Amino acid sequence: MWKCTLVFCSILVLVQGQDDDWLQVNITQGPVRGRKDPDGGLYVFYNVPYATAPTGRDRFKPPLPPPVWMSPLDAVNRNIRCPQPNVLEHTQEDCLVVNLFVPDTTDTNLPVLVFIHGGAFQNGHGLSGQYRELVRTNKLIAVSFNYRIGVHGFLCLGTEGAPGNAGIKDQVALLHWVNTNIARFGGNPQDVTLAACSAGSGALDVLTLSSATTGLFQKAILESGSSTGAVGVIIDPIQNAKNYAKVLNFDNVDDLESLEEFYRTAPFELLTSRVDEIVDNKDTAVRFAPCVERDIGQERVITDAPMNVIKRGNYTKVPLLYGFTNMEGAMRLPYFDTWKDQMNEKFSDFLPAELHFDDDQVKEQVAQKVKQFYFGDSDVGEDTMVSFLLYFTDVLFAYPMLKSLSARVEALGDTIYLFEYSFVDEDTPSFPHTNVRGAQHCFQSRAVRDQDLTGRTDAYRRMVQIAREYTLNFILTGSPTSSDARFPLWRPANAQRSPHMSIGPVIELRDDILGDRAAFWDSIYEEHYRGPLVPDSYTGANVRADGSRVVNITQGPVRGRLLPGGGVYGFYNIPYASAPTGADRYKAPRPPPTWLTTFEAEDRKIMCPQRFTSETMNIQEDCLVVNVFIPDTEETNLPVHVYIHGGAYQFGFGLQGQFTELVKRKIISVSFNYRLGVHGFLCLGTEAAPGNAGLKDMVALLRWVNTNIASFGGNPDDVTLSACSAGSGSLDFLTVSSLTNGLFKKVIQESGTVIGAVAAQVDPIQNARNYAAVLNFDNINDLNSLEEFYKSVSIQQLVSRSDAIVNNEGVTSRFGPCVERDVGQEIFLSDAPMNILSHGNYTNVPRMYGFTNMDGSVRFSVFDTWKEMMNEKFSDFLPSELHFDSEEVKEQVAERVKQFYFGDSPVGDHNFLSYIYYNTDVLFSYPMLKTLSTRVEALGDSIYLFEYTFVDENSPGFPQTEEIGARHCAQEMIVSDGDVTTATDEFKRMQEIMRNYWMSFISNGYPSSSDPSLPTWRPANAQRSPHMSLGRDIVLKESSPIPERAAFWDEIFEEHFRGPIVDTDPVAPTPTPTPGAASSLVISSTIFVVLLFSFYFTLNFD
């Protein structure tokens, strides 16, 4: 307390002797003086500059730093306004000022309320809403401010002179100012609540979705406005700019440079003269409002359509107090007499601008459907005034807010306290031509703000008290629930928008909001909603007459060619990084080469060093190349798919999986090589071999994509990773590494995770010693000698015995990812993955996630060798991630496991199916289910779980059984390219279903189908339910896959699971491996050869 008092005294200084009418605060810019409010209880600081608005030709650029001063600034009200229509006095270009309302108290660390004014983004100012009465409770500080509005704040040309969202960037600057200075006024910069109504709420919603505001506020009150609907992000900002320029009598609108020059030189009087053309449009949209920005090398606040950001969960979740009034549409009453006949003549003109139709006929059909729903067979007229009000209530504010709410809860499980405000005073007049009364636009916000209550009824005064209590409770605690026992407990809403608080003459928690009106618009938006466009940025590519396309990337120009069959251009083997060679071969990748002449991006069949490769492949140490497949289209901002190949971390290459059939549906697909085996995963915890070189290659690839993919027409902020097997394990590691933050937004993860067959090495140094012994190196206990051996041995020798690395009885590959020691380099993985997951220390992204019912088929080839070994010593086949206090305990667990799968019978031909199930579970299915539960419990991840069981009708049964099932990675193979000439109709139908699921997830962040016969796919909970069963029948099962088997392994892992060793100390020598240990490595040699050729056959002929 003593420390707090000293701090407070150093920043709050009473001046002018005994005159306590002034309070001086020393902020970063200099001293400011606020004056005590005439009614007492608080000090007010008006018009303090928080940033500087650029002027003249730079007027549309981001804000500049604020001014500084030496002598005290008297923060009195100078009525500063930003340029806007019908306000000539006090307007100025440099209008970015903040107002602060500070309680007259010595308390510090007070919560902070920041108010964002509304006004259709065209008018208004910070002092249009004030909260003195809340401040007088001595429980908070209130802040309001100006931001640039209209064309001044929201011209969006995607150019350096007018990048867009200047007004939103002003708001971000204000939040940074608050974060820096508010403690000097006695506020807590870590307890900031934003509040707004109407366009202010639309802006606020955008702020909650922008990475530029992370950590700048902790709660938000959104009322009658969201990032979609009337005050949402605009659909086509450049067309809006052209249209308005025409209204202002500028003709050369199709020349973007001329258009920009017009706006940069036109006087503000002209720019604000025809605001009637900007707001109150029939299609609900405001013409100058927030936009999705083009990447021009400046900081962007909106990089994607808000609904895309929400659905992908790519935002920071904060509690929301969230609602609207029951008669928002009353704001359209002034237009009723004009619009009623126009609505009867052509209702389609009044459909929301964010709906898109394939042709005018479809649009007219939808318009008729909507008109019938609201007005029945009657015309729009005085008899249907209530329907007129409800229609505009829904399309302007109510439905857009509900749509966003559902998307938020589905994505990240947002805590949203939903309400509908319907209170009206008894003396409130009815709406024209009706006997109906209702709460008009922003009435709920007005009830909380300062107002003159003289002459108001007791009922209204009571409602003001209730509304203020709800608001204050939310600001203080993050929950609006009242301490008054007469009022119900306010629970957050679920994705079905229930419950909500009905705030009217009676305060009650209800289940239904808008009734069938919301469901009606759900059906319309599901089919016809489109997000906003990005200003055209497809300047990187040009098409040649010879069927090639040249793209200018950061390294230089690259040429790709149209693939046979057309529709897709392929760019092969572009270096995305340089692999260090020689003694540095295990270090992190280096920057890629550059060139001046055009790089011919042809398939040179480059592969990273590995064993058993075709003679046609080009094996080389510097093997880090990327392949990019783009559709034959001029469209830009396309979703990007990045494929990570599998192969037990020991073999494979980027082109083993290709997805050109998906590319034809207008995505971009990327594949690449990364270092493998010892080359990519030797982990000694030394400077020369720190570990995870292969994963660091993947990070380099993702950074390359982030930098270059826009040149190919892709959206760097809409990247989906997909992989199966070890590729999926790599993918899962990427999701828990801090190095990948922001580099991808969604993942498709199949048959592989951070534990199980493709998990992190439990003891990487011991693995390195064992393998060196296999390669006939003896001095393995001296770490320096061991490192020198690996640095100097030839690549050919390194890969010569990779049979001793994979297909181990203990499940996990010998050379895979590891937890790294800190050796002064960038660390990919600093802790055991399950620790990271359980602590929630990762970025949550949506994932499509599953396995096949017979993933254990990868162990077919070793059955004849292993069955006797399993009968002899089953404990050798337990997962290496299990740890036991003694050999006796290990044998007891092994017997328990063997009994569960095989009963009293030995492992043999008669229970081959049990052998498959056992390997399915320990290799892939249970590890995936365990990590799923951990993720959902930690951060509520949106995980669309599936079990893939589909097999074609002519698929052969497994050996020694008539059973058939989906083999390892069959779910990926059916989506990727392949010859379907002889495929059955059943296979082709399943392929189309799976490709549709993938495309939906890549595009929207959730797998859905337009086929009404298929069920809606919901994310799984921590109990691993529901899951989609993808077989001959597509069924959403309200249960976990393999429930009994998973429950069995839950018990085992609960008691015996251990993660990889996390070693931050110097490595101590350990004994030389026994001959038995070395021989167990040698045993798998012939097994590996069989397995590898089985993999190669599957890869090339399935």
Tell me the catalytic residues: 198
- Type of residue found at 1015: P
b/e string for 194-233 if b means 16 or more Cβ within 10 A?
A: bbbbbbbbbbbbbbbbbbbbeebbbbbbbbbbbbbbbbbb
- Write the DSSP symbol of residue 915: H
Q: 44 with 35: CB under 8 angstroms?
A: yes
DSSP3 helix / strand / coil % (the chain, rounded to 5): 40, 15, 45
Pairing of strands 1027-1030, 1034-1037: antiparallel
Closest CA to 848 of 1000, 668, 1011: 1000
* Chain centre to alpha carbon of residue 434: 46
Q: What are the backbone dihedrals phi and psi of residue 698, each rounded to the nearest 5 degrees, phi first?
A: -65, -40
The CA distance from 335 to 337, in Å, is 6
As to burial, measured by CB atoms within 10 angstroms (0-12 exposed, 13-18 middle, 19+ buried), residue 879 is buried
End-to-end CA distance of the chain: give it in Å, rounded.
Answer: 72
798 CB-near residues (< 8 Å, 6+ apart) = 609, 677, 678, 679, 775, 790
As to burial, measured by CB atoms within 10 angstroms (0-12 exposed, 13-18 middle, 19+ buried), residue 360 is: exposed
Structure tokens at 952: 């074609």
| DSSP label at residue 491 | P
Helix (H, G, I), strand (E, B) or coil at 22: strand
Pairing of strands 12-14, 22-27: antiparallel
Residue 84: DSSP 8-state: B
Examine residue 499 and say whether the peptide bond preceding it is cis (omega within 30 degrees of 0). yes
| Rounded distance between C-alpha atoms, residue 275 and residue 120, angstroms | 10
Residue with tokens 């001095």: 779
In sequence order, which residues have a C-beta less than 8 Å from that of residue 723 and are 6 or more positions away?
643, 644, 645, 646, 729, 730, 731, 748, 749, 750, 752
Q: Which two tokens stand for residue 695?
A: 């994963």
Residue 500 has phi, psi (to 5 degrees) of -140, 155
Counted residue by residue, the chain has a size of: 1102
Amino acid of residue 92: Q
For the chain, state the CA radius of gyration. 32
User: Are the beta carbons of 966 and 950 closer than 8 angstroms?
Assistant: yes
Q: What is the pairing mode between strands 847-852 and 746-750?
A: parallel
